[in-house]
Amino acid sequence: MEKISRTKIVDLLKRDDFGAKVNVKGWVRTRRGSKQVNFIALNDGSTINNLQIVVDLASFDEEMLKQITTGACLSVNGEMVESVGSGQKVEVQAREIEVLGICDNTYPLQKKGHSMEFLREIAHLRPRTNTFGAVFRIRHHMAIAIHKFFHERGFYYFHTPIITASDAEGAGQMFQVTTLDMRHLGRTEDGAVKYDDDFFGKQASLTVSGQLEGELAATALGAIYTFGPTFRAENSNTPRHLAEFWMIEPEVAFNDITDNMDLAEEFIKYCVQWALDNCADDVKFLNDMFDKGLVERLQGVLKDDFVRLSYTEGIKILESAVANGRKFEFPVYWGVDLASEHERYLVEEHFKRPVILTDYPKEIKAFYMKQNEDGKTVRAMDVLFPKIGEIIGGSEREADYEKLQSRIDELHIPMKDMWWYLDTRKFGTCPHSGFGLGFERLLLFVTGMANIRDVIPFPRTPRNAEF
């Protein structure tokens, strides 16, 4: 084959210098046609749109043509011409074709609809479908948007440890990291596992959050954000939970709860706007194929200010809904941790826009949140979104050493490994606030996908660590 430098399909489809010689490489989506002419839909992952390759069968070797099947990988030299067919303005008249990789009929992605469940079983191949190509391109764009947003506002990207000896949420649902031989565990006299011989000389886990270390950084660098993998060993088989997911956690010195809410709203609107501006083809495809209201919902989030509401007010609204005959699966009363159905009622039915709920009962929130004067509530905030429920959780942090220490004692949190965290309250403490955004929850919203397993390449869930 004549050596011509490759053009990506996304770039080729924008060109209008018809008659140019081009080379494209990609995978065959479909092949159709008559005895004289075939049309090959080629895709190289750079765009949701396929490139049509027109093949005059008489000009090519029959044996080679037999190898052009769905899934096969081709290199094509040809002439870029104006397309007469509808759907695309550019196509390529093939002059030379090389089959780089054959694909037999056992290839599971033959031309027909596939269920999401089936595609999860072949997660190693699903990025080649239109749907997952779109989702993973959007995933990339959202990551870029996040870094861009914080960088432009003077935040520093701070890397917090993935292996840790502290439990930020006090949740206890952590994956153990060990080099001990599980068949021959040494025990202390009282029967506990002896960690002296372990790699770190003590019990270590995969992190559930980078927040505590992020607070240290914010009290030195002013404004930081983390963006990395986090792990929860919760036995949750829901469409909204993963055991391994990515989290973005900004932490800002001198910000109070109001500043924190402003930042969260500005941040999430920036990300949604970025998707509409930079992933228009992919978003439109997902809108048309999966979720007819997707684009409208994304635009809806941008046009209104988010409602800001205290937990107590939220409970009153839910209680009056129940009094008026609204049925919920879970009970509603002051002090309850709201279920997704309650959050979605406030957002989708009552206010019809995103809601930021604040001032939660301290009993249902983490130990590090700043206590309000009423002694019952803390300066927490949850951002609630349509179709998802909670998408962001955050708070103003307790900056007072005595108050934080007494809350830790009340909750019997083992602080022997956390002395460093308390030091920030002893050495030049300051007001500070932050929040966490589950990256995959943002992606659920932006893509319109129904299950969180479908917005991460290789989902990790209870009893599933394939690929």
The pLDDT of residue 78 = 98
3-state secondary structure of 326: coil
The pLDDT of residue 314 = 98
Short-list 458, 133, 83, CA closest to 289: 133
Tell me the DSSP string of 25-82: EEEEEEEEE-SSEEEEEEE-SS-SSPEEEEEEGGGS-HHHHHT--TT-EEEEEEEEEE
The answer to whether the CB of 250 falls within 8 A of the CB of 262 is no
**pLDDT of 348-406, one tens digit each?**
999 999 999 999 999 999 999 999 999 999 999 999 999 889 999 999 999 999 999 99
Average of per-residue pLDDT across 115-138: 96
198 Cβ neighbours under 8 A, 6+ residues apart: 178, 179, 180, 204
Residue 373, both tokens: 């004067």
What are the C-alpha distances in Å from 296 to residues 135, 146, 301, 354, 438? 18, 22, 9, 14, 22
What are the C-alpha distances in Å from 49 to residues 26, 285, 407? 12, 10, 56
* pLDDT at position 224 over 90: yes
Average of per-residue pLDDT across 49-74: 96
CA gap 422, 402 in Å, rounded: 10
The answer to whether the CB of 32 falls within 8 A of the CB of 65 is no
Strands (DSSP E) along 65-155, which ranges? 73-82, 90-101
Strands (DSSP E) along 178-256, which ranges? 204-206, 223-231, 244-253
**pLDDT of 227-262, one tens digit each?**
999 999 988 888 888 999 999 999 999 999 999 999
Which of 126-140, 216-230, 403-417 has the weakest average pLDDT? Answer: 403-417
- Residue 446 banded pLDDT, cuts 50, 70, 90: very high
What are the C-alpha distances in Å from 226 to residues 79, 148, 284, 436, 439? 48, 13, 30, 9, 12
The pLDDT of residue 237 = 85
CA gap 435, 249 in Å, rounded: 6
Average of per-residue pLDDT across 194-215: 93
- Residue 158 banded pLDDT, cuts 50, 70, 90: very high
Tell me the DSSP string of 238-263: STT--SEEEEEEEEEET--HHHHHHH
- Residue 172 banded pLDDT, cuts 50, 70, 90: low
Residue 461, both tokens: 């869930």
What are the C-alpha distances in Å from 20 to residues 14, 49, 86, 161, 224? 13, 20, 21, 52, 49
**pLDDT of 259-289, one tens digit each?**
999 999 999 999 999 999 999 999 999 999 9
Residue 369, both tokens: 């949140």
The pLDDT of residue 403 = 93
Q: What is the mean pLDDT of the chain?
A: 94
- Residue 171 banded pLDDT, cuts 50, 70, 90: low
Counting Cβ atoms within 10 Å, is residue 175 exposed (0-12), middle (13-18) or buried (19+)? middle
The pLDDT of residue 374 = 95
The answer to whether the CB of 221 falls within 8 A of the CB of 158 is yes
**pLDDT of 16-38, one tens digit each?**
999 999 999 999 999 999 999 99
Strands (DSSP E) along 114-220, which ranges? 156-157, 163-164, 176-177, 204-206
Short-list 396, 305, 392, CA closest to 351: 305
Residue with tokens 């308390």: 422
**pLDDT of 82-93, one tens digit each?**
998 777 899 999
The pLDDT of residue 211 = 94
Classify strands 307-310 and 355-361 as parallel, antiparallel or unpaired. Answer: parallel
Residue 379, both tokens: 């300066």
Average of per-residue pLDDT across 401-412: 90
Tell me the DSSP string of 407-443: HHHHTT---TT-HHHHHHHHSS---EEEEEEEHHHHH
Residue 453, both tokens: 């397993």
The pLDDT of residue 167 = 61
* pLDDT at position 2 over 60: yes
The pLDDT of residue 112 = 80
